[in-house]
Amino acid sequence: MSLFHVLGFGVKIGHLFWMLCCWFVSWFVDNGIEDNNNNKSGLLVGSVGDLEKTNKMTTLKKKNFFNRISTCGLKIPSFSYQFLGSVKFNKTWWRKLVVAWVVFWLLVSIWTFWYFSSQAMEKRKETLTSMCDERARMLQDQFNVSMNHVQAMSILISTFHHGKIPSAIDQRTFSEYTDRTSFERPLTSGVAYAMRVLHSEREEFERQQGWTIRRMDSLEQNPVHKDEYDPEALEPSPVQEEYAPVIFAQDTVSHVVSLDMLSGKEDRENVLRARRSGKGVLTAPFPLIKTNRLGVILTFAVYKRDLPSNATPKERIEATNGYLGGVFDIESLVENLLQQLASKQTILVNVYDTTNHSQPISMYGSNVFVDELERVSLLNFGDPFRKHEMRCRFKQKPPWPVLSMVTSFGILVIALLVAHIIHATVSRITKVEEDCHKMEQLKQKAEAADVAKSQFLATVSHEIRTPMNGVLGMLHMLMDTELDVTQQDYVRTAQASGKALVSLINEVLDQAKIESGNLELEDVRFDLRGILDDVLSLFSGKSQQKGVELAVYISDRVPEMLIGDPGRFRQILTNLMGNSIKFTEKGHIFVTVQLVEELFESIDGETALTPEGTLSGLPVADGQRSWENFKAFSSNGHRSFEPSPPDINLIVSVEDTGIGIPLEAQSRIFTPFMQVGPSISRTHGGTGIGLSISKCLVGLMKGEIGFSSTPKVGSTFTFTAVFSNGMQQTERKNDPQNNNNQLMCSEFRGMKAVVVDHRPARAKVSWYHFQRLGIRVEVVARVEQALHYMKIGTTTVNMILIEQEIWNREADVFIKKLQKEPLVLSPKLFLLANSVESSMPDAFCNGTDPPIVIVKPLRASMLAATLQRGLGIGNREPPQHKGPPALVLRNLLLGRKILIVDDNNVNLRVAAGALKKYGADVVCAESGIKAISLLKPPHEFDACFMDIQMPEMDGFEATKRIRDMEEEMNKRIQNGEALIVENGNKTSWHLPVLAMTADVIQATHEECLKCGMDGYVSKPFEAEQLYREVSRFFNSPSDTES
């Protein structure tokens, strides 16, 4: 019970876990997929609607799938076979699902990887962009600041140089000023001012300045190193329309003084553009003179007057006074700038002049590229003509996308694990199913083998029985020959062994039949008391020999006739009593038959068992223990029993005072071939199969069997059996068997007997048996009481029955008393003795009649016979019903008209001979066709024995035809068409047809019944079997006569 609870708890826990897992997994998958959905749609900006839809679809499917699993989980405690069945059905489907699952998660993990790495890239890009933009903006800002200053300087020059006469600025002032204000122009390496000089003014200008205007073309063409630079070596500028000689210059660029800016190609363009636009313009980067580093020159025009912003280029050119140029050393400047910023290590900056798009000019930075990623930021240096840009790259290659790799790998691993679990589960289930299937097959095989075994046993037993009959027959014949004592003994032993073997074989056959389920119980009326008498007489010899008292008591409330299987009931009783006799050396064996209801009624008044209360005075095992475990009694709580009215519930107990069953053997007492111990079978013989058969038979009778046993005290076996009542109240008087009893009773009716017995249990048995004969019984405990009773009694006492025990003790007293005062009407004296040998007391030396000894066990027929003899009445023999079968058969068959059908002359003759011997009037027919013609109703046959295998028409066919004819006839009778001939009481025709067959196989039997036959007899007739079959159809003649 507790184990069961634990098991149940385990199942519950398991179920809970399963539910939890299902819930978790479904939640996880749902969320995950929805997340994915959102991400994807966000990423694709809803561009691919179809994809989204399919994704949702899969989500739904997944949901359904997991819901299904969890609903399946609900059914787990009942181990739903359907679930397993569906799994079996969808085995391939499962496999596909697993593959799909793996593929799906592979895709998911790839996508995750891609997504994460793209995210990282994006971030990197953003970082680069922000860094690059920051740098570009700073550069631009600083440049603009510088530019503004240069512009401011141009205004300064126009104010103080051209606006004042004489000029307030000379070279020295300019250089000093610019040097001191250079912190305001961090990007410029130097500033210079060139004046516009027309050719007409050249000479005067050169004279004023004291130097000639020199050209810088050659300089540019042959760049020289700083040290070797020699301004004096430069050629004077050739004749031009106008010149732009540098007059002031910062110290850093003082070498450009006197150089004509218009003579340099870059500078000229710049100058021209500057004066035209009125804004600062930049040159393309070029190697600077002297330093030879890359630089750009910013040029502002200086006008004579303040020009309006919408002045035309021409006006501007007219108004130009000179040009102020600032040299920007881009390389060093950018470097300075980058120095100021953090994380300069991570980023690589290049600045390009992209005025000419096809050929960008590098202004700063190396061209070593490590990373693909590049950010281009535009730089606006205030000159719309020139375009600059800054290109940034990371110095290092991007790091490995460890996070995304780990994530996607993790997802993949989980998915694979889940797939593996599913796969393992499915294959496990499949395997278990296969195993189960295999087991089933094995079970079927085993069952088939078991059936085969039983069949084999049945066949072999049957086959052994036949030769055994020969052996026994011959032994019997051998005993009739002249043998000496030793030989006689040998033969007797051999015959006893043979008989034992036959009975063993019968038992094995029974067992085999029971095991193969072929044993069916009959439903016939039988007389329970008669059967008990039979069984009793069977064992009476042995019990007398052993001096064991054998007694039967059947309650009055048990109906006289029951419906059931008397043979099997008898078998059970024989078994139990046989065991008891075998193991009991002294004391008694007491069989009690009661109704179950009665037993329960009597329990209330029952007192504790005392040895005196038992039949022989010896202690017995507690009988109550043998049945208190019966299921039928303990069905509702405490011992109780609800009888169902039409059924008769008998409880039979066999109580003995034998050696008992050892405690250790009690558990296997009902197992076939299990005995208490090997020594038991050696001393007492037997196979140990009897109790197992009894148990099966009791089971078939819807009863139970149990026992209680105390070693050295005795055993009590108790079984219940359910029969139906075979006694209709109205029928009671007409009953033939009952007639028999009544015949016996009538002789003794009204007589009175006194039983002298001091043991109530034993007295009760005596009382029961005399009661059956219709004798009124008075029980007294002592002889004196009996005498006293007779004296004062109003009615005459016909007989006195004295227990041997008492007789032995008090015989002398009794006889003396009887002699002293003889009774008027002396009753007959009977002695109830256990065995014949128990001697007649010697006291009967004088005239008194010796008492007649009634040898126990008491049986109705024997008792009646003895009493008749003793009382000298009723010499009439009561009709013998339990005589040898041959005699009864004669009774049954006498004068019957029987048709025998067989194609075999010899067989016909033999069968006819056999039946004639029993007094039947036999008619023979050689073929089925002839039989049909003879049996066309109306006819006078009482029965027909039909061979099955015949040429032309076999027995089955013939029987069918006969039945057809009978049916037709019956219809006609019902319709009143046919005359009701001779047999006036014959309202319907049904001739008993018995098959004669050599092979008595179950199948043939069934076939017989199917064809309308009523039974079968095996071909060489056996009296016993013939009687059994025939008695089913014919009542005894006395019956029909009455």
Partner 1 sequence: MDLVQMQKSLQDYTKSLFLEGILDSQFLQLQQLQDESNPDFVSQVVTLFFQDSDRILNDLSLSLGQQVVDFKKVDPHVHQLKGSSSSIGAQRVKNACVVFRNFCEQQNVEACHRCLQQVKQEYYLVKNRLETLFKLEQQIVASGGMIPAVELGF
* Binding positions for partner 1, rule: CB under 8 A: 469-470, 472-477, 480-481, 902-907, 909-911, 913-914, 916-917, 947, 949, 951, 998, 1019-1021
Q: Of the two residues 568 and 1019, which places its CB atom closer to partner 1 in the complex?
A: 1019
- What span, in angstroms and rounded, lies between the C-alpha atoms of 948 and 939? 22
Q: Of the two residues 480 and 484, which places its CB atom closer to partner 1 in the complex?
A: 480
- What span, in angstroms and rounded, lies between the C-alpha atoms of 87 and 430? 8
Whether the bond into 937 is cis, omega within 30 of 0: no
> Counting beta carbons within 10 angstroms of the beta carbon of residue 715, is it exposed (0 to 12), middle (13 to 18) or buried (19 or more)?
buried
Coil/strand/helix, residue 584: coil
- From the CB of 940, what's the least distance to partner 1, in Å? 22
- What span, in angstroms and rounded, lies between the C-alpha atoms of 224 and 206? 26
- From the CB of 953, what's the least distance to partner 1, in Å? 13
Q: Of the two residues 374 and 1022, which places its CB atom closer to partner 1 in the complex?
A: 1022
- N-terminal to C-terminal alpha carbon distance within the chain: 64
In this structure, the number of other CB atoms found within 10 A of the CB of residue 676 comes to 19
- From the CB of 481, what's the least distance to partner 1, in Å? 8
- What span, in angstroms and rounded, lies between the C-alpha atoms of 520 and 700? 8
- From the CB of 1020, what's the least distance to partner 1, in Å? 5
Whether the bond into 166 is cis, omega within 30 of 0: yes
Nearest to 382 by CA among 281, 314, 487: 281
Q: Of the two residues 1021 and 1034, which places its CB atom closer to partner 1 in the complex?
A: 1021
Q: Of the two residues 690 and 928, which places its CB atom closer to partner 1 in the complex?
A: 928
In this structure, the number of other CB atoms found within 10 A of the CB of residue 359 comes to 9
- CA of 658: how far to CAs of 11, 397, 614, 628, 712, in Å? 51, 105, 14, 22, 7
Is the distance from CB of 892 to CB of 1027 less than 8 angstroms?
A: yes
Q: Which H/E stretch holds residue 899?
A: strand 897-901
Q: Of the two residues 277 and 495, which places its CB atom closer to partner 1 in the complex?
A: 495
Radius of gyration of the chain (CA): 67
- From the CB of 930, what's the least distance to partner 1, in Å? 17
List alpha helices for 674-752, DSSP H: 678-684, 690-700, 736-748
Q: Of the two residues 700 and 910, which places its CB atom closer to partner 1 in the complex?
A: 910
Q: Of the two residues 307 and 468, which places its CB atom closer to partner 1 in the complex?
A: 468
- From the CB of 492, what's the least distance to partner 1, in Å? 13
- What span, in angstroms and rounded, lies between the C-alpha atoms of 969 and 929? 19
- From the CB of 1017, what's the least distance to partner 1, in Å? 13
Q: Of the two residues 189 and 997, which places its CB atom closer to partner 1 in the complex?
A: 997
Q: Of the two residues 138 and 479, which places its CB atom closer to partner 1 in the complex?
A: 479
Q: Of the two residues 466 and 636, which places its CB atom closer to partner 1 in the complex?
A: 466
- From the CB of 79, what's the least distance to partner 1, in Å? 51
In this structure, the number of other CB atoms found within 10 A of the CB of residue 504 comes to 17
List alpha helices for 756-857, DSSP H: 760-772, 783-792, 804-820
Q: Of the two residues 356 and 905, which places its CB atom closer to partner 1 in the complex?
A: 905
- From the CB of 477, what's the least distance to partner 1, in Å? 6
- From the CB of 476, what's the least distance to partner 1, in Å? 2
- From the CB of 728, what's the least distance to partner 1, in Å? 40
Kindly give, in sequence order, each residue whose CB lies less than 8 Å from that of residue 747, ignoring residues fewer than 6 positions away: 864, 868, 873, 874
Q: Of the two residues 373 and 472, which places its CB atom closer to partner 1 in the complex?
A: 472
Q: Of the two residues 331 and 947, which places its CB atom closer to partner 1 in the complex?
A: 947
Is the distance from CB of 990 to CB of 941 less than 8 angstroms?
A: no
Is the distance from CB of 63 to CB of 31 less than 8 angstroms?
A: no
- From the CB of 693, what's the least distance to partner 1, in Å? 24
In this structure, the number of other CB atoms found within 10 A of the CB of residue 822 comes to 10
Residue 45, φ and ψ in degrees, nearest 5: 50, 45
- From the CB of 885, what's the least distance to partner 1, in Å? 13
Q: Of the two residues 470 and 541, which places its CB atom closer to partner 1 in the complex?
A: 470
- From the CB of 1036, what's the least distance to partner 1, in Å? 22
Q: Of the two residues 771 and 1018, which places its CB atom closer to partner 1 in the complex?
A: 1018
Residue 707, φ and ψ in degrees, nearest 5: -150, 160
The number of angstroms, rounded, from the C-alpha of 707 to the middle of its chain's C-alpha atoms is 38
Whether the bond into 938 is cis, omega within 30 of 0: yes
- From the CB of 994, what's the least distance to partner 1, in Å? 17
- What span, in angstroms and rounded, lies between the C-alpha atoms of 286 and 263? 15
Coil/strand/helix, residue 527: strand
Q: Of the two residues 406 and 477, which places its CB atom closer to partner 1 in the complex?
A: 477
Coil/strand/helix, residue 556: coil
- From the CB of 687, what's the least distance to partner 1, in Å? 22
Q: Of the two residues 53 and 499, which places its CB atom closer to partner 1 in the complex?
A: 499
Q: Which amino acid is located at 759 in the chain? A: R
DSSP assignment string, 429-484: HHHHHHHHHHHHHHHHHHHHHHHHHHHHHHHHHHHHHHHHHHHHHHHHHHHHS---
Is the distance from CB of 654 to CB of 627 less than 8 angstroms?
A: no
Is the distance from CB of 589 to CB of 543 less than 8 angstroms?
A: yes
Coil/strand/helix, residue 582: helix
- From the CB of 931, what's the least distance to partner 1, in Å? 17
Q: Which residues of 303-324 are buried (b: 16+ CB within 10 A; e: fewer)?
A: beeebeeeeeeeebeebbbbbb
- From the CB of 922, what's the least distance to partner 1, in Å? 12
